[in-house]
């Protein structure tokens, strides 16, 4: 299953003009999109009665944990991507397991488990459909082998199941677990920037949850808080990941970013 044959065949079917479209579709499983999806589920899901604030926080715990998990798993296995002649978009990181497949299965799977709308069967079917679709885009783009995405889907589903179970009684356990996964990723990656940011976000989210969990409104974040929060937390996240700065500043940005993810809905209560 980790043979270039299938990947080469599928990527060879893609006309050059369709590569941008596939690249757009694959963003459904990109870390930035998954994090925004989980964040909005927590911030505004309660307003539209899609899920309770507490359940939104559980989805967010899955998100901050699984991104660090992917970094650690890739470093642990250290398996390369398909050869450059096969790939349709440039990729330099390790390939196994597929981060897009793992993240998609985890985030959409947790939403399938915790959303309060539609039947459970329909929710899981949609979640599985999106995760599998994202996985196929990775194969058609030539950036993964079949085994990468199959194992990624299984690991992501297992990660979501674990966090959902852990948080059944107390949400804080999900954030503690995310921090533990982040620490493991730090060790496995040699504390590269992505793992530092992932761990910082998890720790910031944990501290914020302990601080504001009693002050969270039942109807989620206001429109103003959501808009401002997206801009501020988004800017902090980009700075932590991409802007050249000392290591201590990366850590600080990560902590504030994770705290912002959890704390934005509580801001309106403190401002009254």
Domain residue ranges in the chain:
4-270
| pLDDT of 154 higher than 60 | yes
The band of 109, judged by pLDDT with boundaries at 50, 70 and 90, is very high
Report which of 181, 154, 153, 151 is spatially closest to residue 166, judged by C-alpha positions.
181
Q: Quote the tokens at residue 106.
A: 């985890």
The rounded percent of the chain whose pLDDT value lies above 70 is: 96
| pLDDT of 213 higher than 60 | yes
Instruction: Find the distance separating the first CA and the last CA of the chain, reported in whole Å.
Output: 58
| pLDDT of 125 higher than 80 | yes
pTM: 0.91
Helix-then-strand count for the chain, H and E: 11, 0
7-32 residue pLDDT tens? 777 777 778 888 888 889 999 999 99
Task: Compute the residue count for the chain.
Answer: 272
The label of the residue with tokens 């988004």 reads 234
């Amino acid at each position: 299953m980790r043979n270039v044959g299938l990947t080469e065949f599928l990527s060879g079917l893609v006309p050059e003009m369709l590569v941008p479209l596939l690249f757009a579709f694959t963003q459904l499983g990109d870390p930035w999109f998954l994090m925004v999806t989980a964040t909005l589920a927590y911030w505004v899901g309660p307003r539209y009665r899609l899920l309770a604030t507490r359940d939104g926080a559980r989805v967010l715990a899955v998100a901050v944990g699984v991104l660090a998990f992917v970094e650690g798993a890739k470093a642990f296995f250290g398996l390369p991507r398909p050869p450059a002649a096969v790939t349709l978009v440039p990729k330099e990181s390790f390939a196994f397991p597929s981060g897009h497949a793992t993240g998609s299965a985890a985030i959409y799977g947790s939403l399938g488990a915790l959303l309060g709308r539609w039947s459970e069967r329909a929710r899981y079917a949609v979640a599985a459909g999106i995760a599998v679709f994202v996985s196929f885009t990775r194969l058609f783009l030539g950036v993964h082998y079949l085994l990468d995405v199959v194992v990624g889907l299984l690991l992501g589903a297992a990660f979501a199941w674990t966090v959902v179970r852990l948080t059944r009684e107390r949400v804080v356990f999900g954030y503690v677990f995310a921090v533990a996964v982040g620490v493991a990723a730090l060790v496995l990656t040699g504390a590269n920037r992505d793992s530092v940011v992932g761990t910082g976000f998890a720790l910031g989210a944990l501290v914020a949850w302990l601080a504001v969990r009693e002050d969270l409104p039942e109807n989620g974040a206001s429109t103003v808080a959501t808009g401002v929060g997206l801009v501020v937390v988004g800017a902090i996240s980009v700075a932590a990941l991409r802007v050249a700065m000392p290591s201590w500043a990366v850590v600080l940005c990560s902590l504030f970013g994770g705290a912002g993810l959890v704390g934005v809905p509580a801001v309106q209560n403190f401002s009254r």
